[in-house]
């Protein structure tokens, strides 16, 4: 079986279309495993994986850990808040100390963009980027595209709108790169202040009217407002944002056609999306969570298989 063209998973921009299809096909196999009574396979037995998270995370960390354990890997969890990082230890020293304990693969989330790329140039282990600042979140984009493929049979030709805080979202950039690779049409929608100036260079449409964007699309991926990354006010209030860009059942039912609703989580119910939309039959949010484990199993399996 052909392997991935890259030794690390640092961002979607490092993957080609064949890599993405290989990850999807491998994830198909692992998803069938996850639906069996015995959900574990010995694929990564004797492989040790360290989850190094310098930012808070619930779904991503649990999803990676579950994927690792389903593959029978040995798992080490590291939280920066309770480590020597708080005493001034550098990133390279931290990771090298962990690697000295014979760790094979590192899954890392970091608040600074490019941390994974920097680390991959200084340590021997393979790196999986679980999110670096407002830069990329490749496994989230892969599981989102995989969920669209599962729903519609193919991603090519589908119209996907990404709504919300595009400027601060690592999910938005990775999704745009992944969806474009797979032949989808992509639009972004949000306040002018939350749309980055470079967005046109990525080959996506821009729309500031939510209703127009929703009537255009097949799939709407609703992003949360990343208040923790905002150092200034980008809009007057959350209430005003919700009035203009929040998706509720009334808007959803009033569209020209039925669309599919996605959200990478965590959901701020009542802000970007209401509970009756998040829990509706048009929502595939929980399917995304389920597919996240299969996609991460596929990524870890394929990377570990090419370890030198």
Residues of each annotated binding site for L-aspartate: 87, 170, 224
Question: What DSSP designation does 114 have?
Answer: T
Residue 113 gets the label, from left (phi > 0), alpha (psi -120 to 50) or beta, of: beta
Name the H helices within 48-183: 59-70, 91-99, 115-120, 138-152, 170-181
Question: Annotated binding site for carbamoyl phosphate: which residue ranges?
Answer: 59-60, 109, 137, 140, 265-266
Phi/psi for 291 (5° steps) reads -70, -25
What span, in angstroms and rounded, lies between the C-alpha atoms of 207 and 51? Answer: 38
Contacts of 116 (CB under 8 A, 6+ apart): 8, 10, 11, 108, 110, 127, 128, 129, 132
Question: Annotated binding site: which residue ranges?
Answer: 59-60, 87, 109, 137, 140, 170, 224, 265-266
Q: What is the CA radius of gyration of the chain?
A: 19
3-state secondary structure of 270: coil
Looking up tokens 């992944």 gives: 178
Per the document, the length of the chain is 308
What span, in angstroms and rounded, lies between the C-alpha atoms of 120 and 305? Answer: 18
């Amino acid at each position: 079986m052909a392997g991935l063209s890259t030794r690390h998973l640092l961002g979607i921009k490092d993957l080609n279309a064949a890599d993405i299809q290989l990850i999807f096909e491998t994830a198909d196999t692992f998803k069938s495993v996850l639906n069996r009574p015995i959900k574990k396979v010995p694929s990564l037995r004797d492989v040790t994986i360290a989850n190094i998270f310098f930012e808070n995370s619930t779904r991503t960390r649990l999803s990676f850990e579950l994927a690792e354990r389903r593959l029978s890997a040995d798992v080490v969890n590291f939280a920066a808040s309770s480590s020597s990082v708080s005493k001034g230890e550098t990133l390279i020293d931290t990771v090298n100390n962990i690697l000295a304990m014979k760790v094979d693969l590192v899954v890392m989330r970091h608040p600074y963009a490019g941390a994974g790329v920097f680390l991959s140039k200084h340590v021997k282990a393979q790196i999986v980027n679980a999110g670096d600042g407002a830069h990329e979140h490749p496994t989230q984009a892969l599981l989102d595209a995989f969920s669209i493929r599962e729903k519609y049979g193919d991603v090519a030709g589908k119209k996907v709108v990404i709504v919300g805080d595009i400027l601060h979202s690592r999910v938005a950039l990775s999704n745009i790169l992944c969806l474009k690779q797979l032949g989808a049409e992509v639009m972004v929608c949000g306040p002018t202040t939350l749309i980055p100036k470079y967005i046109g260079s990525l080959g996506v449409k821009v729309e500031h009217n939510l209703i127009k964007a929703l009537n255009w699309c097949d799939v709407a991926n609703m992003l949360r407002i990343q208040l923790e990354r905002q150092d200034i006010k980008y809009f007057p209030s959350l209430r005003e944002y919700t009035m203009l860009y929040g998706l509720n059942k009334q808007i959803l039912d009033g569209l020209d056609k039925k669309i599919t609703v996605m959200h990478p989580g965590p959901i701020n119910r009542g802000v970007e999306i209401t509970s009756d939309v998040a829990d509706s039959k048009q929502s595939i949010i929980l399917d995304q969570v389920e597919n996240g484990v299969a996609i991460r199993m596929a990524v870890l399996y394929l990377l570990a298989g090419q370890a030198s």
